[in-house]
Chains A and B, each alone.
Chain A
Amino acid sequence: MSGGVLAIVSFAGAAPDRGSLEALALARRLAADSGADLEAVVVADASSGRAAAALLGSSRVATAIIVQHDRLTVDHPDGWAAAIGQVVKARTPAAVVGAGTERGNDLLARVAADLGLPMAANCVVIEPGDRYRLTRQRWAGSLLEDCWLDAPIRLMTVAPNTVAVDEAIAGATPTVEVVDVVLTERDLALHVASREAPERGKVSLADAKVVIGGGRGVGSTEGFGDLEELAGLLGGAVGGSRVVTSAGWRPHADQIGQTGLRIAPDIYIACGISGAIQHIVGCKAAKHILAINSDPEAPIMSVADYAVIGDLHAIVPAISAEIRRRAAARA
């Protein structure tokens, strides 16, 4: 019985992905608070896993576990659940911490279901004890819940962008343990059968430095012309609220919020958007928010840094015109 804290670590290229670094950070804090060792299980095929495991010393991992199986690849969700389940059963850690990403939550939920254990998704605080006292996100972070997690092995994922990632330390090398796992045909049946590469082309909404968001106030598909024009002048992208995607004015890929995209541009210009909590969770990471709204009492006024009050269809073209005027004056 190891009684340690086991972090699940996936890789983006050679380095742990962002979600795994967050899992490592919270797992390390938990290990320190409970006087336990920090261990990590590496989600990568055994050959790349060795190189990956060696890097984990910089995250203060004492023991890195590599799973060995000749048919298991990162494309087998059930295979990884079974493999991690076997590692957990063999080592009986006090806690397992994974990334609160889509894949991280999916993986730990499979492990939890197989082991008959509860699991808490998207935690922001973990207090060890006989029962663990957790703070976790509800409503995509618009609300927090304090709760008890009562289980022999505590399974938790870390809410994205809520914990600071530890600074890497030099020198340490973890002990690497290679574990053979036994997988059935059923474990390996579910796998990615085909892949399509991302589309290239225009500025992606997720990465744009400037995002112009449109809501019900834009009024129609055509109404977005004014926003497209301004986005074009600023090298930005256009997004919107759920009202505009539900109405079919924009595709769902443009939706910002709880059930859409999370964005973090330098500035988000929200036009005709009231500021429902489900929208705000998607844009609050913007460095600056400018609201353009005819209603000075709209909820977005308490989240935005700046506001212009009035009809967006008069204001947005006026901003575009001013940008053009200044560019022409410079030329």
Chain B
Amino acid sequence: MRVLVCVKRVPATGGRILLTADGSDIDVRHLGFTVSPHEECAVEEAVRIIEAGGGASTVLTLGPAAAEEQLRDAMAIGIDQAVLLETDGRDWDPVAAASAIVESIRAHEATDGPYDLILFGNESADSGGFQVGIRVARALDRPCVTGVKSLLPGDGRFIARREAAAGGWESFELPLPAVVSVKEGINLPRYPSIPGRLRAKKKEIDRSTPAWQPGGLEKIVLRLPREELTAAEVIGRGPDAGPAVVDLLVRIGVVDG
């Protein structure tokens, strides 16, 4: 079994987002970087599938040279190989990102054979386009299920289960090769070990520089939503606040007076 997993480097924003002066981007000067929790789970799922059934896993990202960090994070928990599609750091629109990823997949499959399974996050953490996985699947003419929260291997296929719109669960039988977008909760990702980190540090990364072709969606400027930031009214300190809190709950009507 060969599994590919696609991740996107994003700033690890915390308590609030700061923008650059011209509003063109998030001010990342004091931020670390990460990938979406959905993608962390996709990486963990890829590692588990190969651990259970044998084969090889690859992580791929389209991003700046610094996105090597996210590839090494994935290799530190057990991904075998890494592919970096290096950009100048600008955010590629979903059409452009998907076509660069498709081209790379085609090239790698031509030499190393097909990926049985290609995993994506359900949506990227920052731009949240909800589409790169689907576009890649359609271009490669492979079935695709999104929002997947459990993936069980069967005979030449996977059972992909997701929450149904009306509650409960629905399952698809996916013949291979297939594409799956996963959501956080499908598994609980492991933490990397020190030996894992050291191994990952030494691994080769397959680098190339795709050409950017605009896909019709172009960022103009970023803005923070206008939400009233208020200062919370401090209704007490320590356990003595019990009566004040219950008075509040009575006023709101969630407890009898």
Q: Which residues of A contact B (CB under 8 A)?
A: 12, 17, 75, 77-78, 101-103, 105-106, 109-110, 112-114, 117-122, 133, 135, 137-151, 157, 186, 189-198, 209-210, 233-234, 236, 242, 245-246, 248, 251-253, 255, 258-260, 266-267, 274-278, 284, 287-291, 296, 298-311, 314-315, 317-319, 321-323, 326-327, 330
- A258 B125 Cβ-Cβ under 8 A: yes
B127 in the interface, Cβ–Cβ < 8 Å?
yes
- A267 B134 Cβ-Cβ under 8 A: no
In the complex, chain A residues whose CB is within 8 Å of the CB of B194: none
B110 in the interface, Cβ–Cβ < 8 Å?
no
In the complex, chain A residues whose CB is within 8 Å of the CB of B129: 119, 121
Report the separation of the CA atoms of residues A16 and B21 in the bound assembly, to the nearest whole angstrom: 43
- B134 A109 Cβ-Cβ under 8 A: yes
- A142 B225 Cβ-Cβ under 8 A: yes
Report the separation of the CA atoms of residues A119 and B220 in the bound assembly, to the nearest whole angstrom: 16
Report the separation of the CA atoms of residues A35 and B191 in the bound assembly, to the nearest whole angstrom: 56
User: Mind listing 27 A-B residue pairs with CB under 8 Å?
Assistant: A105-B123, A112-B135, A113-B98, A113-B131, A113-B137, A118-B94, A118-B217, A121-B131, A138-B127, A143-B17, A146-B223, A149-B217, A151-B216, A190-B144, A195-B169, A197-B168, A209-B254, A233-B255, A234-B254, A276-B14, A290-B245, A302-B229, A307-B234, A307-B235, A315-B238, A319-B246, A327-B256
Report the separation of the CA atoms of residues A296 and B237 in the bound assembly, to the nearest whole angstrom: 10
User: How many pairs, one residue from A and one from B, have CB atoms within 8 Å of each other in the complex?
Assistant: 262
Report the separation of the CA atoms of residues A135 and B30 in the bound assembly, to the nearest whole angstrom: 27
- A288 B252 Cβ-Cβ under 8 A: yes
Knowing A106-B147, A146-B221, A301-B231, say if A259 contacts B239 (CB, 8 Å): no
Report the separation of the CA atoms of residues A297 and B218 in the bound assembly, to the nearest whole angstrom: 38
- A148 B220 Cβ-Cβ under 8 A: yes
B173 in the interface, Cβ–Cβ < 8 Å?
yes
- B184 A147 Cβ-Cβ under 8 A: no
Q: How far is the CB of A108 from chain B (nearest CB, A)?
A: 8
Q: How far is the CB of B44 from chain A (nearest CB, A)?
A: 11
In the complex, chain B residues whose CB is within 8 Å of the CB of A248: 188
- B135 A103 Cβ-Cβ under 8 A: no
In the complex, chain B residues whose CB is within 8 Å of the CB of A144: 222-225
- B252 A234 Cβ-Cβ under 8 A: no
- B255 A323 Cβ-Cβ under 8 A: yes
Interface flags for B121-133 (1: CB within 8 Å of A; 0: not) read 0110111111100
Which among B13, B127, B134 has the highest number of chain A CB atoms within 10 Å?
B134
In the complex, chain A residues whose CB is within 8 Å of the CB of B138: 110, 113-114
- B229 A266 Cβ-Cβ under 8 A: no
- A259 B13 Cβ-Cβ under 8 A: no
- B130 A277 Cβ-Cβ under 8 A: no
CB < 8 Å neighbour of B225 from A141, A258, A307: A141
- B183 A190 Cβ-Cβ under 8 A: no
Report the separation of the CA atoms of residues A191 and B98 in the bound assembly, to the nearest whole angstrom: 24
In the complex, chain B residues whose CB is within 8 Å of the CB of A209: 254
Report the separation of the CA atoms of residues A37 and B147 in the bound assembly, to the nearest whole angstrom: 34
- A259 B145 Cβ-Cβ under 8 A: no
B72 in the interface, Cβ–Cβ < 8 Å?
no
Q: How far is the CB of A127 from chain B (nearest CB, A)?
A: 11
- B229 A303 Cβ-Cβ under 8 A: yes
Q: Which of B1-30 contact A (CB under 8 A)?
A: 13-17, 26
Stretch at the interface among B56-64, B111-119, B159-167, B200-208: B159-167
- B218 A147 Cβ-Cβ under 8 A: yes
CB < 8 Å neighbour of B15 from A242, A275, A317: A275
In the complex, chain A residues whose CB is within 8 Å of the CB of B131: 105, 109, 112-113, 119, 121
CB < 8 Å neighbour of A274 from B15, B174, B185: B15
B36 in the interface, Cβ–Cβ < 8 Å?
yes
Report the separation of the CA atoms of residues A304 and B248 in the bound assembly, to the nearest whole angstrom: 14
In the complex, chain A residues whose CB is within 8 Å of the CB of B52: none
In the complex, chain B residues whose CB is within 8 Å of the CB of A121: 123, 128-131
Top-9 shortest CB links A-B:
A299-B15, A252-B185, A118-B216, A318-B242, A318-B239, A105-B130, A109-B131, A113-B138, A198-B167
